[in-house]
Amino acid sequence: METNNFETQYADQLKKYADDLVKVYKSEQQKRKDLENTNLQLIKYGRDLSSSILKLKTANQELSEAYLDTIHRLVIAAEYKDEDTASHIVRIGSYSAMIAKKLGMPDKKAINILYAAPMHDIGKIGIPDNILFKPGKLTDEEFEIMKKHTVIGAKILSNSKSAIIKLGEEIALTHHERWDGKGYPNQLSGKHIPLAGRVVAIADVFDALMSKRPYKEASTLEVTLDIMQKERGKHFDPDILDIFMKNIDEILKIRTGVEKTGPQYSEDASLEISLLRSQ
């Protein structure tokens, strides 16, 4: 009798253990299922988040491009009376950005220069046409008026929160300063001249010498480079001029590209709007 009771108790205990194991197994199965569902939901959330980020990035990119295009068009509008202005400002931007990259500036800074440099002469909107387009040499009085375009340009671009506009203000004010301190409007010298101003000074003079103006014919490349080399350490930062001269083939490639495509950012330029898309 006692043996039967023991066997019954033992059987009941085994059944209880079996029932508990079944419950544990089912519980673990449910947990695994819940975990898999959670993982699937997280994957879905991740995909939705990636899609939202991509849409936001695309929207921001389109806004950036519209903003930069607006800057470019406003600069052209400010100097619309000069038929070569559109191509000139693209060349200045592209030359300056290429030099900036050769100086080791990060892409973002070089791209800012690409768009800011074309604003260098925006202050000429405040200079009378009879001085701006005079076919001969300016008188001393007329030249003093002409020099005011630097200050006018800086004032037009002042008080902006945009990094590009701020850089444009700096360039407008300083691109006629000289390394030897004999420039204008503030007679800054050496590295007291902001780097962007020193870069654009070289790009601007090169393009001006190579281009026809109401008061002069275009100079040949040989004459242009000879003039610039003689101004090393006088008008121009010697180190930046050396980099410019070393990369003259790239400069000429940019110039040729702009001449072929017209006033747009050339495929031959060393920095493109496409670089902006990689940021």
How far is it, in rounded angstroms, from Cα 272 to Cα 65? 12
Find the CATH number of the domain harbouring 104: 1.10.3210.10
Residues 138 and 52 in one domain: no
Higher confidence at residue 260 or residue 185?
Answer: 185
Residues 173 and 239 in one domain: yes
Q: Which of 15, 47, 78 corresponds to the end of one domain?
A: 78
Residues 4 and 65 in one domain: yes
Residues 16 and 68 in one domain: yes
Q: Which tens digit of pLDDT belongs to each residue from 240-253?
A: 999 999 999 999 99
How far is it, in rounded angstroms, from Cα 97 to Cα 110? 5
Write out the two tokens for 190. Answer: 């050496």
Mean pLDDT, residues 15-36 taken together? 72
Residue 98 has pLDDT above 90, yes or no: yes
Mean pLDDT, residues 26-36 taken together? 75
How far is it, in rounded angstroms, from Cα 101 to Cα 136? 37
Residues 146, 127 contacting (CB under 8 angstroms): yes
**Listed range (111-120, 143-152, 174-183, 208-217) with the worst mean pLDDT:** 208-217
Residues 73 and 112 in one domain: no
The CB density around residue 279, as the number of other CB atoms within 10 Å, is 10
Residues 73 and 125 in one domain: no
Residues 94 and 61 in one domain: no
The pLDDT-based confidence of 270 (bands split at 50, 70, 90) is very low
Residues 59 and 166 in one domain: no
Domain range enclosing 236 = 83-277
Q: Which among 19-33, 48-62, 100-114 has the top mean pLDDT?
A: 100-114
Mean pLDDT, residues 74-88 taken together? 66
Distances (CA, A) of 179 to 7, 143, 254: 107, 20, 26
Q: Which of 78, 109, 136 corresponds to the end of one domain?
A: 78
The CB density around residue 14, as the number of other CB atoms within 10 Å, is 10
How far is it, in rounded angstroms, from Cα 188 to Cα 174? 8
CA neighbor of 175 nearest in space, from 213, 147, 204: 204
The pLDDT-based confidence of 1 (bands split at 50, 70, 90) is low
Query: Half-sphere exposure of 217 toward its Cβ, with a 13 Å CA cutoff?
Result: 4
Mean pLDDT, residues 79-85 taken together? 60
Residues 149 and 99 in one domain: yes
Rounded percentage of the chain residues whose pLDDT exceeds 90: 47
How far is it, in rounded angstroms, from Cα 153 to Cα 150? 5
Residue 210 has pLDDT above 60, yes or no: yes
Q: Which of 25, 47, 78 corresponds to the end of one domain?
A: 78
The CB density around residue 204, as the number of other CB atoms within 10 Å, is 21
Eight-state DSSP code of residue 122: G
- In the chain, the number of structural domains is 2
Write out the two tokens for 211. Answer: 């281009």
Q: Taken in order 177, 178, 182, 187, is the CA torsion positive or negative?
A: positive
Q: Which tens digit of pLDDT belongs to each residue from 183-206?
A: 999 999 999 999 999 999 999 999
Residues 63 and 87 in one domain: no
Residues 205 and 113 in one domain: yes
pTM to 2 decimals? 0.73
How far is it, in rounded angstroms, from Cα 11 to Cα 200? 95
Residue 15 has pLDDT above 80, yes or no: no
Identify the pLDDT of residue 81: 60
Q: Taken in order 28, 34, 37, 41, is the CA torsion positive or negative?
A: negative
Maximum Cα interatomic distance, the chain, rounded to a whole number of Å: 134
234 phi, psi to nearest 5 deg: -110, -75
Q: Find the distance separating the first CA and the last CA of the chain, reported in whole Å.
A: 87
> Which H helix or E strand runs over 99?
helix 85-102
Mean pLDDT of the chain: 82
How far is it, in rounded angstroms, from Cα 179 to Cα 205? 14
Residue 94 has pLDDT above 80, yes or no: yes
Residues 117 and 183 in one domain: yes
